[in-house]
Amino acid sequence: MAIHSVTKRFGILTAGGDCPGLNAAIRGVCRAAHDRYGMEIIGIANGFRGLINEDTKILHPEDFSGILTRGGTILGSSREKPFAPVDKDELASTKVSAIKETYSRLGLDCLVVLGGNGTNTTGCKLSREGLNVIGLPKTIDNDIAGTDRTFGFHSALAIGTEAIDRLHSTAQSHSRIIVIELMGNKAGWLALYAGVAGGGDVILIPEIPYDLKAIARHLEKRAKSGKTFSIVVVAEGAMSIEEASMEKKERKKYRSDNGPSTGYRIAREIEEKTGMETRATVLGYVQRGGIPSASDRVLATSLGTAAADLLAADKYGRMVALLGNEIGSVDLSVPEGKVKNVPADHFMIDTAKAVGTCMGE
């Protein structure tokens, strides 16, 4: 017999970039909601676009069975931002109205959104528009405020670390410097952790603007000590001291003129500065694909079942979160419009420095 639930019917969607663990989270929400609480579930296709266009269907147990280990998302995703201006003068009120109409027409008691910073920010704004919303934090960047870890991060960390491990043998065989670029446009969690796990000799993250002279000195010192190769781990959003002093538009133009990406630019600068043969590898979307790690399966499932509990208890306007070693929740306003950056005094930065890693300073 199902346990009493205030929520009878809810919609669920995934938005933003895909990442390992989304299907595990969908399964966690849906199985607990259906089996424990007897709720009806409406799957919404392709993120908020599915709400705008009313592209939905009722989800039955067979739809969310056997998806625990599957990568991607069975619901599809998009980067639709309903609150973004249609043009510089017109607000996107039409899209928001369409979402509210679909929500009402479907008879939803709540909307569950699985996504990153943008998705949970949109969820918070929709809650202010009168919709009941619950958020789940997913991103390989681990940069959502309010949770100690996001699902997707551990899987991407494992992929990034394996890539660094593999590059070691090539770098050593050819006595080269190899630069590997990982994702992390605004926060350097992934590059920092993968860099430490993979024994990176230099780690560059957005939070610490780098000095190319300091990097060159470190690499030359390694070469003089008989170490014939080096690995430089770079977050895609890493920037030099000079870039950090630029306005956003100026920095964007500089990067466009000196592309094709941060990793290639830094590799070119290192070779010009040191004269040492340098190559670049950009891991790209490989980091986001494939099956979730065991850790992410556990976290995503736990967050999913916790979301079902919030639904049943009429606790809307929340984002489920890992808080220490416990699964809890925070107000949706906590992650709204924020990025969880690596603090300057974070223990992992000190750990990296303590084992001789150059952080670009």
Q: Which residues are catalytically annotated?
A: 141
C-alpha–C-alpha distance, residues 293 and 162, integer Å: 13
Residue 126 CA from chain centroid, whole number: 21
What are the tokens at 15?
A: 């938005």
Longest dimension (CA), the chain: 72
C-alpha–C-alpha distance, residues 129 and 115, integer Å: 19
Cβ atoms < 10 Å from Cβ of 228: 14
Please, which residues have CB within 8 angstroms of residue 169's CB and are 6 or more apart in sequence? none
What are the tokens at 21?
A: 């663990």
Note whether 21 and 136 are within 8 A (CB): no
Note whether 187 and 206 are within 8 A (CB): yes
Give percent helix, percent strand, percent coil of the chain, each to the nearest 5. Answer: 40, 15, 40
Sheet holding 278-282, edge to edge: 202-204, 230-235, 177-182, 278-282
